[in-house]
Amino acid sequence: MTTFRARTSLALIGGLALATTACGSDGNAPTADADSTAASATDVASADDSESTGEIATVVVTTNILGDVVSELLDNQADVVTIMPVGADPHDFQASAQEINRMLSADALIVNGANFEEGLIDVIESAEEAGVPLHEAISVVGTMEFGAEGEEHSDEDHSDEDHSDEEHDEHGHDGADPHFFTDPVRMSSAVQGIVDFLSGQIDGLDTDALDASAEEYLAQLAAVDADNVSLLDAISEDKRVLVTNHEVFAYFADRYGFEVVGVVVPGGSTTDAASAGELAALAKTIETEGVPAIFADTSSSDELVNTLASEVGDIAIVELFTESLGTADSDGATYLDMVSANAERIAVALS
């Protein structure tokens, strides 16, 4: 069980912050020099020291999708800190010095896993090495391989203790597809895994209350899934095809009986690139299959999607919430809202 204590290493935080800044990104996080990093780390470490005598733990979550889920489960029993803001692209997000410190000094750290948080892998590994209890949400989910739609692997293929060097080699996109959250049934498995992890790692939790919150949330997930099934079943077989920005909707397709016939950016990451030849081939596939819409991401660039749409001609571009929640005033402000909104947008586009 975890007791509330600061685990901050100023040297480690400074090194990671400088390395993260050197990697570069699209500006998701502010940069920091060594002095500002140390100052920030000291401030937060002091806060952690004061919290060590308090009654609630700090649970840090990387993605805002999982942050929303964990917040619903804990219901103010812990301080839930979500690293990625709304609209962030998890594949290239870089953490600030303060965010790195939060991850390294957390009482528990929950991540998506399967290399989803590409820009945070070094920080996640450092946090684990520093003794922060780590849980990969995907570790208890039946996964699919990239490019192998319908091929599922049991949760026995994953474990929180299995973090081999090969798993992170070059931050590649072979192996397990990390986008399990597009399927609410798989998210239900992840929820139970998160509950089990928190119950075993955080002192002072009211586990009965946690179980009750989980039961209520699982019921809501089941209701959303049932609504999606009813809505999407009305789409005719010849229209149950998807073209997406990148390989992100395989789990959705597997759950609801669709086929992903093409992706604008080959691979499971928005950091990959598409050649002119690949776009031309996809345009031909769209025409052959009679695909009525290209599904873009709200959290990544739609430049290539627009290029493809111009090549094809008469085709709609429909934005989906893929790897980030929407703003508070959108129809994707929570995970439950996001899953429902995506199903509704797909149903309208393909009907």
Domain match, 77 and 214 both: yes
104 or 270: which leads in pLDDT:
104
Residue range(s) defining the domain that contains residue 204: 10-224
Going by pLDDT thresholds of 50, 70 and 90, the confidence category of residue 143 is very high
pLDDT for 254: 98
Domain match, 124 and 217 both: yes
148 or 153: which leads in pLDDT:
148
Q: For 19-49, how does the pLDDT look when each residue is reduced to its tens digit (9 = 90+)? A: 444 444 444 443 344 344 433 443 444 344 4
Please report, to the nearest 10 degrees, the dihedral formed by the alpha carbons of residues 153, 155, 157, 160 taken in order: 150
Domain match, 168 and 123 both: yes
pLDDT for 265: 82
pLDDT for 270: 53
pLDDT for 25: 41
Going by pLDDT thresholds of 50, 70 and 90, the confidence category of residue 50 is very low
CATH number at residue 242: 3.40.50.1980
77 in a domain, yes or no?
yes
5 in a domain, yes or no?
no
Q: For 150-170, how does the pLDDT look when each residue is reduced to its tens digit (9 = 90+)? A: 444 444 444 444 443 333 333
- Strand pairing category for 134-136 and 108-111: parallel
Residue 294: φ, ψ to 5°: -105, 130
Residue at a domain's end among 224, 242, 276: 224
332 in a domain, yes or no?
yes
Please give the distance of CA 241 from its chain centroid, rounded to a whole number.
24
pLDDT at position 245 over 60: yes
High-pLDDT (> 90) share of the chain, %: 64
Domain match, 207 and 245 both: no
Whole-number Cα distances in Å, 196 to 140, 189, 242, 253? 11, 11, 35, 28
Average pLDDT value for the chain? 82
2 in a domain, yes or no?
no
pLDDT at position 147 over 80: no
pLDDT at position 267 over 50: yes
Please report, to the nearest 10 degrees, the dihedral formed by the alpha carbons of residues 260, 266, 190, 201 taken in order: 180
62 in a domain, yes or no?
yes
Domain match, 256 and 183 both: no
pLDDT for 249: 96
Q: Average pLDDT, stretch 228-235?
A: 98
Whole-number Cα distances in Å, 61 to 9, 70, 102, 104, 291? 20, 8, 10, 12, 37
Q: How far apart are CA 82 and CA 102, in angstroms?
A: 10
pLDDT for 232: 99
pLDDT for 65: 99
Asked if 243 and 262 touch (Cβ cutoff 8 Å), the reply is: yes
pLDDT for 299: 67
Q: For 13-23, how does the pLDDT look when each residue is reduced to its tens digit (9 = 90+)? A: 555 554 444 44
pLDDT for 54: 58
pLDDT at position 313 over 70: yes
pLDDT at position 326 over 60: yes
Q: How far apart are CA 191 and CA 116, in angstroms?
A: 18
Domain match, 296 and 189 both: no
Q: How far apart are CA 247 and CA 271, in angstroms?
A: 12
Residue at a domain's end among 224, 246, 261: 224
pLDDT for 223: 99
Domain match, 263 and 218 both: no
3 in a domain, yes or no?
no
pLDDT at position 272 over 70: no
Residue at a domain's end among 209, 224, 239: 224
Domain match, 186 and 318 both: no
High-pLDDT (> 70) share of the chain, %: 74
pLDDT for 207: 98
The domain total for the chain is: 2
From the list 258, 5, 253, 22, the residue with the least C-alpha distance to 122 is: 22
pLDDT at position 325 over 80: yes
Domain match, 259 and 319 both: yes
Asked if 14 and 41 touch (Cβ cutoff 8 Å), the reply is: yes
pLDDT at position 97 over 70: yes
Q: In what order do the strands lie in the sheet with 259-265?
A: 259-265, 241-246, 293-297, 316-320
Domain match, 49 and 179 both: yes
38 in a domain, yes or no?
yes
Domain match, 117 and 233 both: no
4 in a domain, yes or no?
no
Q: Could you tell me which residues are beta bridge partners of residue 320?
A: 297
Domain match, 202 and 270 both: no
Interior/surface letters 32-65, b for 16+ CB within 10 angstroms, e for the rest: beeebbbebbeebbeebeebeeeebbbbbbbbbb
